[in-house]
């Protein structure tokens, strides 16, 4: 799933769960929950193969995606710090996976293996429409929660 959906969903958790510790845990776990659904992702093969020049467009897309997510949180939320902390926690599994690709180690490997297993629908033949729809739905629900 793209970062935008994860960021907004984590922010929605941060804005609606009153127990801070529970909000932090749920925001982190929400990443894995959203990844259970069929979705599209950026092609990161050049990153996995450490072909950095070819990977530059992927980095740019991720950066724009991240910035758009933060901007939407800023526009639609009441901008409490917990909302941004939860948004960040909701993308942490992707950060850990990226770090594992760059610097493999046992600690990050556990997240990488679990994160990969969560994407079990990735290989299933599910239309692009439904893969995009799941992300749009997550964004709409998150914005609705952030606004109220």
124 contact partners, CB below 8 Å, separation of at least 6:
38
pLDDT of residue 25: 98
Contact 139, 6 (CB under 8 A): no
Q: How confident is the model at residue 6 (pLDDT cuts 50, 70, 90)?
A: very high
pLDDT of residue 124: 80
pLDDT of residue 31: 97
pLDDT of residue 13: 98
pTM: 0.93
The 8-class DSSP code of residue 98 comes to: H
Question: Domain boundaries in the chain?
Answer: 3-147
Q: What are the backbone angles phi and psi of residue 9, rounded to the nearest 5°? A: -65, -45
Q: What is the pLDDT of residues 51-105, one digit of tens each?
A: 989 999 999 999 999 999 999 999 999 999 999 999 999 999 999 999 999 999 9
Distance CA(76)–CA(12), nearest Å, equals 10
pLDDT of residue 148: 84
Report CA-CA distances (Å) from 106 to 23, 129, 144: 27, 37, 39
Q: How confident is the model at residue 123 (pLDDT cuts 50, 70, 90)?
A: confident
Distance CA(27)–CA(30), nearest Å, equals 5
Q: What percent of the chain has pLDDT over 70?
A: 100
Label residues 21-47 b or e (16+ Cβ within 10 Å = b).
Answer: eebbebbbebbbebbebbbeeeebebb
């Amino acid at each position: 799933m793209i970062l935008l959906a994860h960021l907004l969903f984590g922010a929605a958790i941060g804005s609606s769960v009153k127990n801070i510790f529970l909000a932090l845990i749920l925001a982190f776990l929400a990443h894995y929950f959203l990844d259970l659904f069929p979705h599209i992702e950026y092609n990161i093969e050049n990153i996995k193969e450490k072909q950095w020049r070819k990977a530059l467009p992927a980095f740019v897309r991720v950066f724009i995606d991240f910035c758009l997510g933060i901007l939407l949180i800023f526009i639609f939320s009441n901008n409490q710090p917990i909302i941004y902390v939860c948004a960040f926690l909701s993308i942490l599994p992707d950060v850990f996976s990226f770090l594992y690709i760059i610097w493999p180690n046992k600690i990050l490997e556990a997240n990488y293996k679990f994160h990969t297993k969560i994407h079990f629908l990735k290989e299933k033949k599910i239309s692009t429409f439904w893969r995009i729809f799941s992300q749009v739905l997550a964004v709409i629900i998150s914005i609705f929660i952030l606004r109220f």
